[in-house]
């Protein structure tokens, strides 16, 4: 297994839609393992393939992220291949949502409270499940990555422009 480099805004490839995975090969399985290891090392609760420079519809997430009793010591993750949200309902504000690809920034983001996700597991088995609360937020956030959307695209224009100016200033200083 290997720790992968996480791409950060303003990397243009983060804004590109990802392509469907046609078959779950050994290469895909290795990528999934590396993504899981990278996510925990970062540390994060979710990671999408575009964040590590792979334009494929694959996400991994911390299997225990929604468990209030989890102390963070378990390194169990779940991979979803070609995930899509097929139903959503309710609304919540994701309090101070952050992203491994949007460095040093967090913001409140309006999200659905419940989503139904359809995907394949790493074995190629079709699955469908309902996610609530934090797990629903993780699903929306990571699937957004697969569509070329960052969480900063879901906040006010003013807050987004302040962040973009901050990044531009930091890049100029380098």
Does the residue 69 lie in any domain? yes
Does the residue 5 lie in any domain? no
Does the residue 88 lie in any domain? yes
Residues 6+ apart with CB under 8 A from 5: 52, 53
Instruction: Output the pTM of the full model.
Output: 0.94
Note the pLDDT tens digit of each residue in 54-104. Answer: 999 999 999 988 777 766 677 899 999 999 999 999 999 999 999 999 999
End-to-end CA distance of the chain: 32
The pLDDT-based confidence of 39 (bands split at 50, 70, 90) is very high
Mean pLDDT estimate for the chain: 94
**Which residues carry out catalysis?**
142
Question: What is the model's pLDDT at position 72?
Answer: 65
Provide the number of structural domains found in the chain.
1
The answer, yes or no, to whether residue 32 has pLDDT greater than 70, is yes
Rounded Cα gap, residues 93 and 86, in angstroms: 20
In the structure, how many helices (H) and strands (E) does the chain have? 3, 7
Range of 83's domain? 12-173
Does the residue 146 lie in any domain? yes
Whichever domain contains 133, its CATH number is 3.90.45.10
Rounded Cα gap, residues 86 and 160, in angstroms: 28
Please give the average per-residue pLDDT across 24-36, as a whole number.
98
Q: Could you tell me if 29 and 44 are in contact, meaning their C-beta atoms sit under 8 angstroms apart?
A: no
Does the residue 7 lie in any domain? no
Question: What is the model's pLDDT at position 111?
Answer: 97
């Amino acid at each position: 297994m290997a720790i992968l480099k996480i791409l950060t805004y303003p990397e243009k490839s983060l804004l590109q839609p990802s392509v469907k995975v046609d078959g779950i090969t050994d290469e895909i399985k290795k990528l999934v393992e590396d993504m899981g290891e990278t996510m925990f090392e970062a540390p994060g609760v979710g990671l999408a393939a575009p964040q590590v420079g792979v334009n494929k519809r694959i996400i991994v997430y911390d299997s225990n992220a929604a468990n209030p009793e989890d102390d963070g010591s378990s390194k169990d993750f779940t991979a979803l291949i070609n995930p899509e949200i097929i139903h959503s309902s309710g609304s919540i504000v994701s309090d101070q949502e952050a992203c491994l690809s949007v460095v040093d920034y967090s913001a409140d983001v309006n999200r659905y409270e419940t989503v139904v996700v359809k995907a394949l597991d790493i074995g190629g088995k079709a699955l469908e499940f309902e996610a609530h609360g934090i797990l629903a937020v993780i699903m929306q956030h990571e699937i957004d990555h697969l569509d070329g959307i960052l969480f900063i695209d879901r906040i006010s224009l003013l807050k987004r422009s302040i962040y973009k100016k901050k990044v531009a200033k930091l890049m100029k200083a380098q």
